[in-house]
Structure 1
Amino acid sequence: MTSTQDLPRRPLGSTGLQITSLTIGAGPLGSMPANFGYEVPAERGIATAVAALTGPVNALDTSNSYSRGESERRVGEALRQIGGLPEGYVLSTKLDRDLDTGEFTGDRMRRSIEESLERLGLDRVPLLHLHDPEHIGFAESMVPGGPVEVLVQLRDEGIAGAIGVAGGPIDMLREFVATDVFDAVLTHNRWTLVDRSAGPLIEEAAARGLGVINAAVFGGGILAAGARASSRYAYREAEPELLAAVAEIERLCGEHGVPLGAAAVQFSTRDPRIATTVVGVSRPERIAGSVELATVPIPDALWSEVDAVVAGLAR
């Protein structure tokens, strides 16, 4: 098996954490059929979490809301089976709104981390994100006693080693980054082979010393399976122009003998501004497969050809 030393470790901003260039995304292993189109049995999810915690990657990302806590429950069972969190392992989870009532207050953030710690069987986490604050917006997130203030308190109390913000809209995340409150920022579906919209966010976050985490580099699966296998990008139907771009990039990868998934992963991992790239998995063997995608040799010529395709998409 590939060892962790075979994957480069990078500083996660100024947190003091050293993180492998890949992070295992634990959303799929908790079973999220609405997002990924398939169920994952509990036994397989737990086995996948065990493999993630004991394999070649030293980071795993989950959330209070993934499968209404099932992802964390399965990760927690895996942690119990292996005897606790390995030394130096970067486990992250996220503070979430109440999925039933929509409550997204400071009090709810307290309950969110209490629920997460109970499921995980831990008393602290190395990294804790504010998750999807677009549900209330920047201003409401920053009110006294609100979600961000509570997140900072959790870091001060030692419950979180470092804190980040994870969300979708780029302009909103840039507002959070500009506060200099956070240690890390997580963006998803917006820095991929065919979507470069997170560029300004990544540049600003890296310049301010935040750890940049890039997730969903497969765009929900199409940038691994190809345009013939899927017509969806970022969990919704894709525009014809984007599908055509994916098909062209897939063709270029074939000419160079490079798997499309390898190009999707390495587009992110090759970027020196990005500390780690989150790749979701739902089977134990997919972890070694993800490492292989991250280490396949890719000629420089392919990147310039891909950039030309995306430049045409942007016009």
Structure 2
Amino acid sequence: MTAEAAPFPRRRLGRTELWVPEICFGGGALSSMPAAFGYEVPEERARETVRAVLRSPVGFLDTAAGYGDGRSERIIGEALAEVGGPPPGFVLATKVDRDPETGDYSGAQVRRSLEGSLERLGVDRVPLLYLHDPEHISFEQGTAPGGPVEELLRLRDEGLARYVGVAGGPVGLMGRYVATGVFDVLLTHNRWTLVDRSAGRLIDDAHAAGVGVVNAAPFGGGVLAKGPDAHARYAYAEADPVVLDRVREIAAACAGHGVPLPAAAIRFSTRDPRIASTVLGVTRPERVAETIALSRWSIPEELWPTLASLAAPAEHWQH
């Protein structure tokens, strides 16, 4: 058995009964969203990538209704159909989204969103369902009677989702959702990386409350995988020069220890005991085994204090 094929130890996802590997493959870029990721992804290549994920020991795949207006889910569903559905123990997570044309994020829209997801994925329920990007409405709208949170909980109670989570960006808003006590899982993105520590307190609070923590985008959208000269963007926008300079320093420190930059970016997240799993995007089938190998890279302990000192100043974080 190769190192890439060895099974991952599983971690309990908060207070749920789901046990997940320390990495999760993300389906966002599979939908080919060049405005966010900077490149196109042909459908057949995306499909081959999902097939490689299904053959890998990483039994955790994350997607969303809004990724490519359903394209990511459709491609995943086609690959799942080829193998007779999700393998035993496989954790499939998706997210309900607002209407892309009208912006409607009502309770009724949440139900429509999941119904479309289940059809595209070819399943009748999912283990994990997130409320996705609630920053597009106010917290009061999100938690209003008959609103999206209430409908999400109703979908769970009906058995269409085993557990529910909230997935979004702004840490203050995400903290308010976590504090409601109704969510099983928190997904934060681009805010707990080698250069941005915005989500530190949010992760603390979620972990202390027994909410499972999933950390997405440890590469910051690509710069912490490819380096600042090849990809001068962070969190899907042009990166601040201060952030790029810090990434250069981080890359140099890693090189001095013989550590690939993306390996350090992944291990920064996976070594954190508060984080159950880390979402990593892949868009080529060969990247699946490469990513697994990077996630298992042996990193000298003495490198971590150096990397901690090189995070960007707080005023340059996403927040």
TM bucket normalised to smaller: over 0.9
**Structure 2 match to 1:235:** 236
Pair 1:61-2:101 in alignment: no
SS of 2:163's equivalent in the other structure is strand
TM-score, normalised via structure 1 length: 0.97
Q: Which piece of structure 1 moves more, 45-54 or 296-305?
A: 45-54
**Structure 2 match to 1:274:** 275
Alpha-carbon distance between aligned partners in 1 of 2:197 and 2:213, rounded to the nearest angstrom = 15
Alpha-carbon distance between aligned partners in 2 of 1:3 and 1:238, rounded to the nearest angstrom = 33
Instruction: Quote how far apart the aligned CAs of 1:5 are.
Output: 5.1
Alpha-carbon distance between aligned partners in 2 of 1:154 and 1:245, rounded to the nearest angstrom = 44
Structure 1: which 5+ runs fail to align? none
Alignment-mate amino acid for residue 169 of structure 2:
G
SS of 1:75's equivalent in the other structure is helix
User: Given that residues 4 and 20 in structure 1 are in contact (C-alpha distance below 8 angstroms), is that contact kept between their aligned partners in structure 2?
Assistant: no
Instruction: Quote how far apart the aligned CAs of 1:7 are.
Output: 2.2
Instruction: Quote how far apart the aligned CAs of 1:14 are.
Output: 1.2
User: Given that residues 198 and 314 in structure 2 are in contact (C-alpha distance below 8 angstroms), is that contact kept between their aligned partners in structure 1?
Assistant: no
User: Given that residues 23 and 279 in structure 1 are in contact (C-alpha distance below 8 angstroms), is that contact kept between their aligned partners in structure 2?
Assistant: yes
Alpha-carbon distance between aligned partners in 2 of 1:210 and 1:3, rounded to the nearest angstrom = 29
Alignment-mate amino acid for residue 216 of structure 1:
A
Task: Name the structure where helix makes up a greater proportion of residues.
Answer: 1
SS of 1:66's equivalent in the other structure is coil
Pair 1:108-2:109 in alignment: yes
Alpha-carbon distance between aligned partners in 1 of 2:291 and 2:108, rounded to the nearest angstrom = 38
Instruction: Quote how far apart the aligned CAs of 1:65 are.
Output: 0.4
Alpha-carbon distance between aligned partners in 1 of 2:192 and 2:235, rounded to the nearest angstrom = 11
Instruction: Quote how far apart the aligned CAs of 1:144 are.
Output: 0.7
**Structure 2 match to 1:180:** 181
Alignment-mate amino acid for residue 251 of structure 2:
E
Alpha-carbon distance between aligned partners in 2 of 1:56 and 1:203, rounded to the nearest angstrom = 29
User: Given that residues 195 and 243 in structure 2 are in contact (C-alpha distance below 8 angstroms), is that contact kept between their aligned partners in structure 1?
Assistant: yes
Alpha-carbon distance between aligned partners in 1 of 2:144 and 2:3, rounded to the nearest angstrom = 46
Alpha-carbon distance between aligned partners in 2 of 1:106 and 1:234, rounded to the nearest angstrom = 29
- Report Cα offsets for 1:11-48 as digits up to 9, x if no partner: 01111001000000011122111111111111111111
User: Given that residues 2 and 56 in structure 1 are in contact (C-alpha distance below 8 angstroms), is that contact kept between their aligned partners in structure 2?
Assistant: no
**Structure 2 match to 1:45:** 46
Pair 1:96-2:97 in alignment: yes
**Structure 1 match to 2:157:** 156
Pair 1:12-2:20 in alignment: no
User: Given that residues 106 and 146 in structure 1 are in contact (C-alpha distance below 8 angstroms), is that contact kept between their aligned partners in structure 2?
Assistant: yes
Alpha-carbon distance between aligned partners in 1 of 2:138 and 2:9, rounded to the nearest angstrom = 35
Alignment-mate amino acid for residue 195 of structure 1:
D
**Structure 2 match to 1:313:** 313
User: Given that residues 166 and 177 in structure 2 are in contact (C-alpha distance below 8 angstroms), is that contact kept between their aligned partners in structure 1?
Assistant: yes
Alpha-carbon distance between aligned partners in 2 of 1:2 and 1:288, rounded to the nearest angstrom = 9
Instruction: Quote how far apart the aligned CAs of 1:8 are.
Output: 2.4
Alpha-carbon distance between aligned partners in 1 of 2:114 and 2:6, rounded to the nearest angstrom = 32
Alpha-carbon distance between aligned partners in 2 of 1:4 and 1:32, rounded to the nearest angstrom = 30
Aligned-CA RMSD value: 1.2
Alpha-carbon distance between aligned partners in 1 of 2:7 and 2:61, rounded to the nearest angstrom = 17
Alignment-mate amino acid for residue 309 of structure 2:
A
Alignment-mate amino acid for residue 41 of structure 1:
P
User: Given that residues 109 and 150 in structure 1 are in contact (C-alpha distance below 8 angstroms), is that contact kept between their aligned partners in structure 2?
Assistant: yes
SS of 2:187's equivalent in the other structure is strand
Alignment-mate amino acid for residue 313 of structure 1:
P
Alpha-carbon distance between aligned partners in 1 of 2:51 and 2:108, rounded to the nearest angstrom = 32
**Structure 2 match to 1:213:** 214
Pair 1:78-2:79 in alignment: yes
Instruction: Quote how far apart the aligned CAs of 1:73 are.
Output: 0.4
TM-score, normalised via structure 2 length: 0.96
Instruction: Quote how far apart the aligned CAs of 1:4 are.
Output: 6.5
Q: Which piece of structure 1 moves more, 215-224 or 45-54?
A: 45-54
**Structure 2 match to 1:32:** 33
Instruction: Quote how far apart the aligned CAs of 1:247 are.
Output: 0.3
